Amino acid sequence: MAEKVRDYSKLARDILDAVGGEENVVSATRCATRLRLVLKNSNSAAKQEVNNLPGVITVVENGGQFQVVIGQHVGEVYEEFAKLVNVDTENEDYENKGSILNRVIATMSAVFAPFIYILAAAGILQGVLILLKMLFSNFENTSTFAVLDFMSWAPFTFLPIFIAITASKHFKTNTYIAVAATAALVSPEWTAMAESIGNGSSLNFLGLPLTETTYTSSVLPPLFLVWILSYLERFLNKSIHEVVRPIFVPFLSILIIVPLTLVIIGPITTLGANGIANGYNILADNVPWLAAAIIGAFWQVIVIFGVHWGITPLSLANYEQYGMDSFQAYQTIAVIAQVGAVVGVIIKAKSKETKRIGISAGTTGIFGITEPAIYGVTLRFKKPFIIGCISGAIGAITASFFNPYYFAYAGLPGPLTIVNGINADYPTSVWGILIGSVIAIVLPIILIQIFGFGEDTAKQADEDLAKGKDAVTTEDSKAEASAAQTSEDTIHAPLSGKLMSLETVPDEVFSSGAMGMGLAIEPNENKVYAPFDGKVVMIAPTKHAIGLQSDNGVEVLIHVGLDTVKLDGEPFTLRVKEGDSVKQGDVINEFDAEAIKSAGVQTITPIIVTNPANYTEITIDETEMTAHGNNLMTAIK
């Protein structure tokens, strides 16, 4: 029997020791590339220690999960880890486990992430309208402006309905009941009644007084409504006979939850949201430079820890109450500082690969998306991330002296949303944001040219993977030796569909390049084919991901869909097993695309070369569409 080079039990033990031992682990699961842990307590020291372990590519903390990215051999590490801990290693219901903070973070992420780009698009449209009003003085009086204006505000006006859809999936309750209940909150009739109460009328529901609280653009009231609805619906489903259940569960749910929200849930949660926003506003109004320094320096740290979704109610509450928000003005400067740090690395770096990753990551930063920049460049080299945070703080502090505000919500604050700071009543606002942004992008470029950008913290892990230290058998070593004699290795398309650059994939572990080089396909068929002659070296237990190694040694991961691990393998039908030899064009997996989409999961399929360090160059097809069997990538020695 071939002897394994990597000691999996030692790596599992090292990870467990680094995260605080068995008593700190709530649950442990795995997907195709990551060991997913839910910890009682987590800290940056543990993350750094795990990140530095040989064989670990990177560590991502998101949604209350401590995700250790290992690669195709995560299965072996998981098996050894499961032997060391006496915790639930099967239950995927993370939302009900861990600390309150982790559960709040997981909820905010699950609720806002699916529609944040809709809010971003609406915010950009509002910014365009601001510019058009400046350029054409009469444009605001046209019906064209009126149409575009209500279009831009529609997602915010009916935000509770968006929240109902995503929150109902997160809390596992009936989406249609949730939408019906929240639609009642934003109905024009209730808005008119609330206005009447505000003008002095005394209205009640069954003798209980109603308040003047309105719910358009609100966040916490619909979120708590759906959360409480999930318990109410489960109780009703257990209590009502199945014959009349389909009618009376929706009837009683709406009859109870809507008045309960109008009388109790809505006023209390609105007060809480406004209180949080007012707490920040007190600091920003009285010590603006301190508020600016905190946001400019630590916003990207908040993004890394995945708690940035928790800020959304604060900003939305400010827009709802005052029509403006300074938090997003400073947030924009922090984002631009990370883009500046990436530009600094691109200019300073000699490696073509570092420049390539930097260009793609910096491009996404222009649109306010910094995860690729953080995971792929700045945090990878450490020093640029720190320089970016310092520059963000200095830029934000400078801007604070100009009374900066955003006057339209920006779903993804960044360079493109600076126009949201334009307002005739606050003429210095946009100038402060512009000056702060210039400092934020120029300063890190200068500092990185002077002090450099540090050592690549992913280098050791990449070398381990390239040399086969993390679980390559002697048989694998023979394949690698054979590869040394081959100049090129062609990887054929395993699916038909639309090609996407890896950087545009909405999963930072793939888009950052941490897993390796490659691209993604949005499939238009339901079969996965072998991309070359070789063997199957890994199959995820949930069937959604397959790792293969070609006869010449190139290693490829085919990950069907994003976050499809949670589907527990149901939409997939495997045609191979681990250890099987395959020929290019063999069907290795089949999937039900409609079932995946109906579960709210994307079918975008990353195809990753996981041992790029073995090759001097990997060329990638840049056409728009492909068919299975077409040349997709070429690995060149």
HSE, CB side, 13 Å, CA atoms: give it for residue 389.
17
- Encode burial over 425-438: b for 16+ CB neighbours within 10 A, e otherwise: ebeebbbbbbbbbe
Active site includes 308? no
H-helix or E-strand spanning residue 572: strand 572-574
Helices 429-451 and 383-400 meet at what angle, rounded to 10? 150
Tokens representing 481?
A: 């030796």
Buried b (16+ CB within 10 A) or exposed e, 162-200: bbbbbbbbbbebbeebbbbbbebbbeeebeebbeebeee
Report d(CA 346, CA 340) in Å as an integer.
10
Annotated active-site residue in 31, 389, 492, 544: 31
Residue 158, Cβ density class (10 Å: 0-12 exposed, 13-18 middle, ≥19 buried): middle
C-alpha 224: how far from its chain's center?
A: 23
Task: Look up residue 114 and give its DSSP letter.
Answer: G
Gap between the Cα atoms of 549 and 533, Å rounded? 8
* Angle, CA 11 vertex, CA 8 and CA 15 arms, to 5°: 140
* Distance in Å from the first CA to the final CA of the chain: 30
CA atoms within 13 A on the CB side of 329: 37
CB-based contact 213:194 (threshold 8 Å): yes
Catalytic residue (one of 73, 492, 559, 628): 559
DSSP string, 530-565: -SSSEEEEEE-TTSSEEEEEETTS-EEEEE-SSSGG
The secondary structure element, H or E, covering residue 39 is strand 34-39
Which residues are annotated as catalytic? 31, 559
